[in-house]
Structure formats: C-alpha cells, structure tokens
Amino acid sequence: MKEVSFGQYYPVSSFVHKVDPRLKILFLIGYITAIFLAKNFYGLAACAFVLILVVAFSRVPVLKVLRAVRGVMILILFTAVLNIFFYRGEGDPYFQWKIFAVYREGLLFSAFLVCRLILLVTLSSMLTYTTTPVSLTDGLESLLTPLKWVRFPVHALALIMSLALRMIPILSDETDRIKSAQMARGANFESGNPVKKIKAMIPILIPLLISAFRRADELGEAMEARCYMGDKKRTKYKKLRFTWRDLLAFLLLAALITGVVLLRICLGGVI
C-alpha cells in the first residue's frame, strides 16, 4: 500500500498547486479525453509533453511521480503481454507457437497501449499530489452543484470522497504496523506457494477491518458531538475563485485537444 500514490498530497508551493481544484478536475477529464482521442504516437507525444510541463511546474520529485506507475506495473505488463501474443496483424508473424503469435502490428499496438496507460496513471496521480483532499472534494462539490436541482446528495458524495482519501494513508500505516506485529510473533508472509501467501494475509486483514470499523464509528460519534448536520446552511471558509493560472491551464488543455484531433485527422491510426 506504500506504492499507492492516489490520496497522497505533496506539500509544496508551486504553480500547479495554486490552480483552482475545479480546473484541475476538468483538466484531468480533458486530458483523459485527449489520450483516448490520440490514435498515433505523435498524439501521445503531445500528451507526454503536457505531462512533462505539469510535473515541472508542480515541483513534485520525478521519482515520486514514477511511483504511481510502479504501483500498477503488473496490470500494464499483463495488458502488454496479452496484446503482443493475441493481436492479429497482416503478413507473416515474427514468432508463432500454437495459438501464440507475434506480429509487427501487435508490438506497435502494445507499445501504444502501454504509453497510454502510463500517461493516464501519471497525470491522475498528479491530481492528488498537488491538491489536498479538502480542496479536491470542494472542487468536486462545486462542479456537481447543478445536480442539487434534482435532489442529488452532492455534499454527501463529496464528504464520502474526502473521508476515503484521508483514510488511504491511515490504513496504509495501520497495515504496516499490523504486519510488523505479526512478523514479530513468527508469521511468515514471504515463503510458500500463492495459496499459502493468501492464507497468511488473513491475520492482517481481520485486524485491519476491525480497526477500520472502529475508526469509522469514532468519526461518526465525533461528527455528532460537533452537531454536524450535512449541507444544511453550511458556509465555506475558503471560497474557490478562478485566476489567471486557471486561464493558462485551460488554454493549455484546449491546445492539447486541438493538436491531438488534428494529428488524428492528418496522420491516422497507430498502425
């Protein structure tokens, strides 16, 4: 769980940190749209260039950003292997054995898909690295304000998201403490076949679930003791306002989507 970057905030003063959280959420949505609109490596190169700009202006260490990719590396490798051996292309394959075959098109498509996933995961982690959970939920609540007209519980959704983000690092530390305590009692989590390793995790999962429920119960009692009444007549200590930084971020996003669409029209697909 130490490899999970989502929910972790890197406290530093930077251009990206000061951008309005609502614009950050919209920027992420637009960036994901640009990634899936890209049909060639030139489009992904444009997305990568924007990602480099975001990382550079955020002042978040590059190694810390790459940890987000390492956390999902197994999924990326699994997806790449499937596409390499099962993507059928034209012409003679480079390698073939029974149902497995490696084509040039399969290698290109696999590399394209891996680049797409890496860009997607990296920028998604940058959202939480540069935005506090409170600011993130405030931005989400502000963006979903129109849903209040149909009596959608926007504030409750934002509160749940805020609590979930805050619990990620807490449960991570709790897992490490429980695992260390079990290892001090002679538990072995490394040796054995996969089935034994799964069974060995039970002494960790049960105390972790009990601790999570206990924390949830204490949090509920604390909110009741402070007369928490949901979104009824609530005011904001910090009001969100768009600034010139948000305008620059919006123009960068618009330029990215426009460039990706033009590259898609002019150059076609990856294969």
Taking the alpha carbons at both ends of the chain, their separation in whole angstroms is 37
**pLDDT score of 271 more than 60:** no
**pLDDT score of 184 more than 70:** yes
Task: Please check whether residue 37 is in contact with residue 269, taking contact to mean a CB–CB distance below 8 angstroms.
Answer: no
What the block records as the tokens of 174 is: 């709790």
- Residue with the bigger pLDDT between 181 and 37: it is 37
Rg value, the chain, Cα? 23
CA atoms within 13 A on the CB side of 13: 0
The per-residue pLDDT for 49 is: 94
Scanning the structure block, which residue is given the tokens 């405030």? 138
The per-residue pLDDT for 1 is: 44
Average pLDDT for 145-153: 81
Share of the chain above pLDDT 70, in %: 89
Nearest 5 degrees, angle CA 256-CA 260-CA 261? 120
Task: Please check whether residue 130 is in contact with residue 57, taking contact to mean a CB–CB distance below 8 angstroms.
Answer: no
Domain ranges, ordered by start, for the chain: 21-229+241-267
Q: Work out the pLDDT band at 57, boundaries 50, 70, 90.
A: very high
- CA-to-CA separations, 161 to 85, 137, 158, in angstroms, rounded: 39, 7, 5
What is the pTM assigned to this prediction? 0.77
Nearest 5 degrees, angle CA 225-CA 229-CA 230? 125
Task: Please check whether residue 140 is in contact with residue 115, taking contact to mean a CB–CB distance below 8 angstroms.
Answer: no
HEC profile of 41-70:
HHHHHHHHHHHHHHHHHHCCCHHHHHHHHH
- CA-to-CA separations, 60 to 11, 55, 258, in angstroms, rounded: 9, 6, 27
Q: Work out the pLDDT band at 51, boundaries 50, 70, 90.
A: very high
Q: Give the pLDDT confidence of 105-127 residue by residue, as tens digits.
A: 777 888 888 888 899 989 988 88
- Please, what is the average pLDDT of the chain? 82
Q: CB under 8 Å to 231, separation ≥6 — which residues?
A: 154, 155, 156
Q: How far apart are CA 271 and CA 267, in angstroms?
A: 10
Write the DSSP symbol of residue 203: H
Query: 3-state DSSP call for residue 236?
Result: coil
**pLDDT score of 159 more than 90:** no
The per-residue pLDDT for 84 is: 74
- CA-to-CA separations, 74 to 48, 71, 80, 117, 172, in angstroms, rounded: 21, 8, 10, 12, 20
Q: Give the pLDDT confidence of 224-237 residue by residue, as tens digits.
A: 888 777 666 667 77
Task: Please check whether residue 7 is in contact with residue 132, taking contact to mean a CB–CB distance below 8 angstroms.
Answer: no
Best CA proximity match to 124, nearest among 71, 188, 194, 198:
71
What the block records as the tokens of 233 is: 């007549």
